[in-house]
Structure 1
Amino acid sequence: MHRGDRAKGYDVVGSIETNVADGFTLVAVGDLIVSRALTKSSQPGFGDIVDLLRGADVTFGNMETNIFDSRCFKGSPQAEYGGAYHVSLPELGPDLKAMGFNIVSYANNHTYDWGYEGMRETCRALDQNGIVYAGVGENLAQAGAARFLETPRGRVALVSFASTFESISRACHPAGEAPGRPGVNALRLAKSIVVTPDMLASLREIRGSLPNYCRDNEVSDTVEILGVTYKSGEKVGYSYEANSNDVARILRDLRQGKQFADFCIATNHGHAPGNWSQEPADYERAFAHRLIDAGADAYIAHGPHQLRGIEIYKCRPIFYSLGNFIMDDLRTPVGADMFESYGKDSRTDTDAEVTAAEMSVGYTSDPGFKDPVFYESIIAVSRFEQSQLIELRLHPIELGHSKRLANRGVPKLASPPVARSILERLVTLSQPFGTEITVENGVGVIRP
């Protein structure tokens, strides 16, 4: 307990107040898609990036790969996987620590690419290197629980969940004689397609003409065809509703995490409505506010592989997506299913050629990662004084979009023209949230 708690009259059991020492800093980045040790290589400009990461009390990223030695691995690539079989060498564990990472999320759509064996090997590698992680476990209670990092300026809790995940990876509680299921802490979303009233009327006519259609349970304002729900609205698009049981459970776990800590991070891996979108899904803003109301000191989202806007709510930062931080995707092995998915032959084509095909095509319904926007991002540095966010600095980075595959995806501080473009885009994306970003010497600055 920090000095001043009793003087302020805090309820030390149930308080959700921020309680960190002056100068507390949080560095937050997006997706860590990395397959090798980078601190040992001679990547131009990477040393400047490492200096930023090491200069904070807490350095956070989304762990979007798995760590194991394929030569002795006992698992196998899964039939359901996150669009690519992400895998890294065991040396990544100590290398992440050397970069400065001390806390990561591990709930995402790639957690189960290699089954529970891959998840457990990755957890073991993170544990061995003293990197705190959250969002996975041997059952849902473990996956949803807050995990804690001790720092000289306060104890930090992390609650991690994924709104984009493979169904096979969802953790569950034990029930009766049935044991719990290992996997990720999932936030399930019910997806609807919003159409105009005229479109809905046409869809209702189509549905009524289908064989074996029953009108007994018909709902007037929606139409469901083959499991897809359509509803009426002013603007065509996608709409999402978070599962109420998952929301209640996550809010409870977050509240408990904050009660045992001085600072609490809530983090969500979600692609919705798609990697093509620079705007968050329609459910997310209200949900982020509820998390902060419950005690989160920062909400960090990642998943769509590009930047989305920043909001300051009750003097706490909300990052709707921090994009990619490392996209060094030299994965091998890639698995037979990926060869088939991209029309390659494992007898004649290489893993690198499969990876290149996946990067150009992307996930289903997405345009792939050909656009430079997927290789431009920021490092967000939040600084606190008197337990209040006093300054948020946004350092633009670029990941070498034009480089060959073997050299692409490693961050460096962006050149002035690219930095200006990144910050201008971020200013525009943040305007709907009322966020003012000024630019000082090529760095974005928010002062609440």
Structure 2
Amino acid sequence: MKFIKSIIISSLTIFFFISCTSNNAQTVVQKTKVDTVIRKIKDTISIVAAGDMMLGSAFPSKVNLPPDDAEGSFKAVHSLLKGDIVFGNLEGCFLNSGNSNKCNGINPNNCFAFRMPERYAGIYKKAGFNVLSIANNHVGDFDSKGRKNTARILDSLKIHYAGQVNKPFEIFEKDSVKYAFCAFAPNENTVSIKNIDSAKALVAKLKTMADIVIVSFHGGGEGARFEHVTRKTEIFYNENRGNVYAFAHAVIDAGADVVLGHGPHVARAVEVYKNKFIAYSLGNFCTYGMFSLKGSNGFAPLLQLKINAKGDFLFADVISVKQDKVNRLTLDENYTAFKKIKTLTDADFIGHKLKFENNRISLAE
């Protein structure tokens, strides 16, 4: 009788294991003080990624706010902002009043300080963004008041964010997948992109706490003269903007699954390193007011990235968008951003083994 009972128990155990690992899903075993917990992670994870976003600044006057009060900012891409993660770079703070110290002694009309009305935060939420980077050179335009108020509002909307020294990362769960998100920049009060050893240590720690680690960085020179990934430290206006190539490779070596870059205001090349996807710059996605939209600055990709349960790259669809002062954000039927990314990737990563076809980036067979 004991023998038969043992067989039944063993059979049930095997059946349970098989059921947990079926459907080609990634199985993660987490050990706790109480017991061992087996979680099944979905086969394919969808990450939608955009670059710089600033919907209009009320500083120095309301003339830099859009006529529709930003309500139509994302209407051209609303149906495309769907994914497990919908990411963008928040290029500015949410604050209804106040002056910027960076404009002391400067004509405010010539000073790039961005203060979005607090009500604009709900537009990002409604559009579908659930992860934002606040590691950049504009979230601190209105000092601690702007940073704290931005954090308060994002918390109230349950939008995940990271990148300031007092919040270098966030860990959250969605559909049984645990994500860790961290963001870096070369700017004051941000987690430094220049201290690569510290960045690696943080990412390595996060990898022990989450299934998928997403890293964002704001780095590199700005404008059409800085389209290429140089693999060197980039200096812009006498400021060290980091070595984005060394940084991206280092954090992947430490455990990052996806690296999403922004800052140059133009699209840059992409790379797959150790099966992990890197976008070196996602350009100006949705910006209004004092942003330059001339030439390459007016075109950007909206990435629809797919990775597997291990965080390895599967493919990325590239939705090309464009902006101008009159029509604002619209779809680009000439696919300029996709073509630009292909050209830059071919130039900067010779022998890259990626295929660019029908607005999709995939691994060459």
User: Normalized against structure 1, the TM-score is what?
Assistant: 0.62
Pair 1:256-2:205 in alignment? yes
1:93-112 equivalent positions in 2, closer than 5 A: 93-112=121-140
In structure 2, the residue matched to 1:438 is 356
Preserved contact between residue 26 and residue 56 of structure 1 (Cα < 8 Å): yes
Per-residue deviation, 1:9: 8.7
Pair 1:62-2:83 in alignment? no
Pick closer, same or farther for the CA change 1:85–1:376 going to 2, 3 Å: same
Preserved contact between residue 134 and residue 159 of structure 1 (Cα < 8 Å): yes
Letter in 2 for 1:148: I
In structure 2, the residue matched to 1:381 is 304
Distance 2:305 2:175 in 1: 16
In structure 2, the residue matched to 1:293 is 253
Pick closer, same or farther for the CA change 1:383–1:370 going to 2, 3 Å: closer
Task: Decide which of 140, 149, 152 is 2:172's aligned counterpart.
Answer: 149
In structure 1, the residue matched to 2:107 is none
Distance 1:27 1:273 in 2: 23
Per-residue deviation, 1:127: 0.8
Task: Decide which of 324, 341, 344 is 2:284's aligned counterpart.
Answer: 324
Pick closer, same or farther for the CA change 1:120–1:386 going to 2, 3 Å: closer
Preserved contact between residue 27 and residue 41 of structure 2 (Cα < 8 Å): no
Pick closer, same or farther for the CA change 1:411–1:274 going to 2, 3 Å: closer
In structure 1, the residue matched to 2:322 is 398
Distance 1:261 1:132 in 2: 15
Q: What is the aligned length?
A: 307
Q: Deviations over 1:249-279 (max 9, x none)?
A: 1111111222111111111101337662111
Distance 2:88 2:129 in 1: 7
Letter in 1 for 2:362: I
Q: Deviations over 1:130-154 (max 9, x none)?
A: 1111011xxx4x343x202321151
Distance 2:126 2:53 in 1: 14
SS, match of residue 268 in structure 1: strand
Per-residue deviation, 1:39: 9.6
Pick closer, same or farther for the CA change 1:317–1:251 going to 2, 3 Å: same
Per-residue deviation, 1:391: 1.6
SS, match of residue 430 in structure 1: helix
Task: Decide which of 10, 29, 32 is 2:53's aligned counterpart.
Answer: 32
Task: Decide which of 333, 340, 362 is 1:425's aligned counterpart.
Answer: 340
SS, match of residue 54 in structure 2: strand
In structure 2, the residue matched to 1:214 is none
Per-residue deviation, 1:322: 0.6
SS, match of residue 48 in structure 2: strand
Per-residue deviation, 1:320: 0.6
Percent of aligned positions with the same letter in both sequences? 25
Q: What stretches of structure 1 move > 6 A for 4+ residues in a row?
A: 7-13, 36-40
Preserved contact between residue 61 and residue 101 of structure 1 (Cα < 8 Å): yes
Pick closer, same or farther for the CA change 1:9–1:149 going to 2, 3 Å: closer
Preserved contact between residue 392 and residue 447 of structure 1 (Cα < 8 Å): no
Cα RMSD for the two superposed structures: 2.9
Per-residue deviation, 1:285: 1.8
Distance 2:337 2:46 in 1: 23
Per-residue deviation, 1:156: 1.2
Pair 1:158-2:181 in alignment? yes
SS, match of residue 251 in structure 2: helix
Distance 1:272 1:40 in 2: 28
Pick closer, same or farther for the CA change 1:47–1:370 going to 2, 3 Å: closer
In structure 1, the residue matched to 2:150 is 122
Pick closer, same or farther for the CA change 1:256–1:376 going to 2, 3 Å: same
Pair 1:185-2:212 in alignment? no
* More strand by percentage: 2
Gaps of 5+ in 2: 1-19, 33-39, 57-64, 105-109, 233-242
Preserved contact between residue 310 and residue 435 of structure 1 (Cα < 8 Å): no
Per-residue deviation, 1:95: 1.1
Per-residue deviation, 1:87: 1.0
Pair 1:308-2:268 in alignment? yes
Distance 2:353 2:54 in 1: 29
Distance 1:131 1:383 in 2: 21
Per-residue deviation, 1:291: 0.6
Pick closer, same or farther for the CA change 1:12–1:80 going to 2, 3 Å: farther
Distance 1:131 1:42 in 2: 20
